[in-house]
């Protein structure tokens, strides 16, 4: 199945959102248990294999965090950034959970929850809506 963001008439059925979402959460749980922040959870980095299971790709932004240290790097895709990243505050694995919420919203509604005509508007919406 081919799915395109920003087409509200092409949302996934709830059962598929739950199925894919549960696989993504299990993957994030595994990464986090190994002290890895994924940082770039987005539709473009999710592949579905021939059996219908999720595969995360592109670990280029991922980072291993030692001793539960916090991060302060401004990295990721603007539509999926957590408020902590936008504010340039310290954060941990929770940034992946924020991105997961954005991803589920997009799969369910066909559009991102925080949009704008430029990065500033998107960041303002993430912080204030």
**Domain boundaries in the chain?**
11-128
Q: Are 54 and 23 in contact (CB under 8 A)?
A: yes
The alpha helices in the chain, defined as continuous H runs, are 14-33, 83-86, 94-109, 119-128
Report the candidate in 62, 93, 94, 99 with the shortest Cα–Cα distance to residue 80.
99
Per residue in 115-129, pLDDT (tens digit) is: 999 999 999 999 998
Report the CATH superfamily, name and number, of domain 11-128: Transferase(Phosphotransferase) domain 1 (1.10.510.10)
Mean per-residue pLDDT for 31-55? 92
Q: Tell me, rounded to whole angstroms, the distance of Cα 4 from its chain centroid.
A: 16
User: Is the confidence at residue 1, as pLDDT, over 60?
Assistant: no
- Residue 2 confidence (pLDDT) above 50: no
How many angstroms separate the CA atoms of 30 and 25, rounded?
Answer: 9
- What is the arithmetic mean of pLDDT over 64-91? 77
**pLDDT score at 81:** 84
pLDDT at 41 over 90: yes
User: pTM of the entire structure?
Assistant: 0.85
Active site members: 40
């Amino acid at each position: 199945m081919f799915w395109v963001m920003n087409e509200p008439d092409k949302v996934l059925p709830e059962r598929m959102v739950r199925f894919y979402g549960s696989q993504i959460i299990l993957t994030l749980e595994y990464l986090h248990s190994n002290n890895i922040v994924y940082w770039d959870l987005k539709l473009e980095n999710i592949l579905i294999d021939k059996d219908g299971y999720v595969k995360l790709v592109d670990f280029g932004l991922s980072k291993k965090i030692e001793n539960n240290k916090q991060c302060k790097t401004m990295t990721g895709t603007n539509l999926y950034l957590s408020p902590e990243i936008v504010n340039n505050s310290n954060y941990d694995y929770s940034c992946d959970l924020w991105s997961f919420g954005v991803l589920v919203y997009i799969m369910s509604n066909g559009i991102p929850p925080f949009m704008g005509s430029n990065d500033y508007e998107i960041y303002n919406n993430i912080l204030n809506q």
